């Protein structure tokens, strides 16, 4: 059988030395069914760094030859019928994102623990009965999703101090009956979802997780009925405060073992001090922000505050969204705008996993007409004026971007696509596309592809509307928005300092500038305005920033409520 003839996508990827390949949907599934599996020729594409094979019920196994794709950074094998994954997956030393969700897996290969660069693991919606020991070897992992499986508990080494980047752990809808107190060792943990499990206790040590912002224990029959009531209705802070008090009470009631309780208390304080010292080292970059003033204003009751409503249909497409307004960003000086756009691109490539995890969009807020609606539209009905282009439908835009990518390869003999072209595979096979629509019905954002030319930011932009969308989790959106705002503060300080050094020479728009010896902190100050996101009935879904967002311990990071 000549695989190259029967699989034109693979032949094309090989001939053009592509770095990305997406095989999904009914047509691919039929080929897999008739061939008895995935074409073996795919394993000869050694340059691939992104491979997706999804929505193919006939795909039940992956051949061991996958070990030859050593350049892979993202491997997406979701919505198939995989019964197993070969142990040689551990040979993919560059792999950062592994998505095996919605398959028929009952176990994960031990080789998974050899993926030293892995940052995101999604194995949700399978039939897993345990997780492999040794996950603590994946020291760069930040997100783990094992929801909707049959897992009765976590391996002991998952709660290891080595996993000091693990910020999101989703394990809802399993059979987990116990949560170890060692969870406090996860110093970066921000989001924990253990809803709909078999827990009867929540360890008080959970309150020692220094960065924990969002927890979900709903659907567990807890022995402490007061705590059970709290987890069904209270905010994370209230629950953690209760657990903290409960932990102190336990030590105080030890009676004859009072000395043991005091010793345990002392040991706990020592552990907390160590964690704080470690966090101080990890947040060295944030220490640079000590020169800045970043104020967060609580304006949620303002009648003129911009709001965003979310339609129910986005749930199955790209469900998570957070937004905010930023004033005080200096884009006029020299290359300030260019530096900001480059920083956004870097966040897309790194923290956002090349937009596979999340997408950032920025708009000139003064060009927005609210209220805004986050919605979905069929590709033929979604019309937008893409950046630098005329108005067109999503179908026309995708087709044009594909043609541009082909032309670029021919002209410059490039091995991989660039710019918007490298994100096209993220939408392949989807019947509906996500979009943000203004009050006049104009699409201003089409994630993960482009923004609208109508709201494009310029050097003269005084107020920015920021949005982050994701299919991963709400906490992912918040983490990336936090990182974006911190980066904006850094850039603003850089711009202010260099303007001070150069006087008015850094400005190129003819506007009068402050004196060179004026206070740079005043000129680098950012004001972050809260945005409410609601459902279509007006019920609050999320507000950003909330009291737990942008909460770094920086002496002059002022939160005004």
Q: With pLDDT > 90 as the criterion, what percentage of the chain qualifies?
A: 41
**Number of neighbours of residue 58 by Cβ within 10 angstroms:** 17
The reply to whether 119 and 209 lie within a common domain is yes
Q: What is the pLDDT of residue 549?
A: 75
Same-domain check for residues 335 and 223 = no
DSSP structure string for 209-265: -TT--EEE-TT---SSHHHHHHHTTS-HHHHHHHHHHHHHHHHHT-GGGHHHHHHHH
pLDDT in tens, 29-60: 899 998 889 999 999 999 998 898 988 999 99
Say how many Å lie between the first and final Cα of the chain, rounded: 68
Residue 25 backbone zone (phi > 0: left; psi -120 to 50: alpha; other: beta)? left
Give a yes or no: residue 17 inside a domain.
yes
Q: What is the CATH number of the domain that holds 448?
A: 3.50.40.10
Co-location of 150 and 25 in the same domain: yes
Of 223, 247, 271, at which residue does a domain stop? Answer: 247
Q: 295 or 431: whose pLDDT is higher?
A: 431
Classify residue 427: in a domain, yes or no. no
Give the model's confidence band at 149: pLDDT under 50 very low, under 70 low, under 90 confident, else very high.
very high
Token digits of residue 88: 């040689």
Q: Which CATH number goes with the domain that contains 53?
A: 3.80.10.10
Average pLDDT on 466-493 reads 88
pLDDT > 70? residue 434: yes
Residue 70: the pLDDT is 93
The 10s digit of each residue's pLDDT in 318-338 is 899 999 999 888 898 889 999
Asked if 318 and 451 sit in the same domain, the reply is yes
Our CA angle for 277, 113, 105, nearest 5°, is: 125
Residue 176 sits in which domain range? 3-247
Q: Vertex 414, ends 409 and 420: CA angle to 5°? A: 70
What are the distances in angstroms from CA 116 to CA 73, 162, 347, 532? 12, 12, 21, 39
Q: Are residues 211 and 358 in the same domain?
A: no
Q: What is the mean pLDDT of the chain?
A: 81
Would 116 be classed as within a structural domain? yes
365 and 503 both lie in a single domain: yes
Which of 197, 155, 158, 148 is closest to 176 using CA atoms? 197
């Amino acid at each position: 059988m000549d695989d190259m003839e029967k699989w034109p996508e693979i032949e094309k990827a090989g001939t053009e030395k592509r770095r990305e390949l997406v095989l999904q949907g009914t047509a691919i599934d039929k080929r897999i069914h008739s061939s008895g599996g995935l074409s073996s020729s795919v394993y000869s594409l050694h340059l691939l760094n992104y491979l997706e094979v999804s929505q193919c019920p006939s795909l039940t196994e992956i051949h061991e030859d996958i070990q030859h794709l050593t350049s892979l950074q993202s491997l997406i094998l979701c919505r198939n019928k995989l019964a197993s994954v070969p142990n040689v997956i551990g040979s993919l030393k560059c792999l950062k994102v592994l998505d095996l969700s919605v398959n028929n897996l009952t176990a994960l290969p031990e080789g998974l623990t050899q993926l030293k660069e892995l940052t995101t693991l999604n194995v949700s919606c399978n039939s897993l009965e345990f997780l492999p020991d040794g996950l603590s070897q994946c020291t760069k992992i930040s997100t783990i999703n094992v929801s909707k499986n049959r897992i009765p508990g976590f391996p002991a080494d998952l709660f290891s101090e080595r996993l000091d980047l693990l910020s999101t752990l989703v394990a809802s809808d399993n059979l987990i009956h116990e949560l170890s107190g060692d969870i406090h060792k996860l110093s970066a943990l921000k989001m924990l979802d253990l809803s709909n499990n078999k827990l009867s206790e929540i360890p008080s040590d959970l309150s020692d997780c220094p960065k924990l912002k969002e927890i979900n224990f709903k659907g567990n029959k807890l022995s402490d009925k007061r705590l059970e009531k709290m987890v069904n209705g209270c905010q994370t802070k209230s629950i953690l405060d209760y657990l903290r008090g409960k932990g102190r009470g336990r030590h105080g009631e030890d009676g004859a073992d009072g000395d043991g309780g005091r010793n345990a208390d002392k040991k706990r304080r020592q552990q907390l001090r160590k964690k704080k010292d470690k966090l101080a080292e990890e947040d060295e970059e944030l220490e640079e922000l000590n020169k800045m003033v970043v104020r967060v204003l609580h304006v949620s009751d303002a009648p003129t505050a911009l709001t965003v409503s979310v339609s129910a249909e986005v749930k199955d497409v790209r469900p998570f969204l957070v937004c905010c307004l930023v004033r005080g960003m200096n884009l006029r000086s020299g290359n300030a705008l260019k530096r900001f756009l480059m920083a956004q691109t870097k966040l897309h490539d790194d923290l956002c996993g090349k937009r596979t995890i999340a997408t950032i969009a920025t708009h000139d807020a003064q060009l927005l007409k609210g209220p805004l609606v986050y919605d979905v539209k069929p590709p033929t009905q979604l019309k937008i004026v893409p950046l630098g282009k005329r108005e067109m439908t999503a179908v026309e835009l995708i087709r044009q971007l594909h043609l541009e990518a082909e032309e670029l390869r021919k002209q410059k003999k490039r091995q991989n696509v660039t710019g918007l072209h490298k994100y096209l595979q993220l939408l392949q096979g989807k019947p509906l596309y996500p979009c943000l629509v203004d009050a006049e019905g104009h699409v201003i954002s089409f994630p993960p592809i482009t923004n609208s030319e109508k709201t494009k930011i310029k050097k003269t932009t005084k107020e920015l509307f920021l949005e982050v969308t994701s299919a991963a989790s709400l906490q992912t959106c918040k983490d990336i928005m936090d990182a974006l705002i911190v980066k904006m503060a850094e850039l603003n300080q850089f711009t202010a300092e260099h303007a001070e050094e150069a006087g008015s020479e850094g400005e190129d728009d003819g506007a009068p500038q402050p004196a060179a010896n004026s206070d740079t902190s005043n000129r680098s100050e950012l004001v972050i305005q809260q945005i409410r996101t609601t459902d279509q009935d007006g019920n609050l879904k999320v507000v950003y920033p909330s009291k737990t967002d942008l909460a770094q311990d920086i002496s002059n990071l002022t939160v005004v409520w």
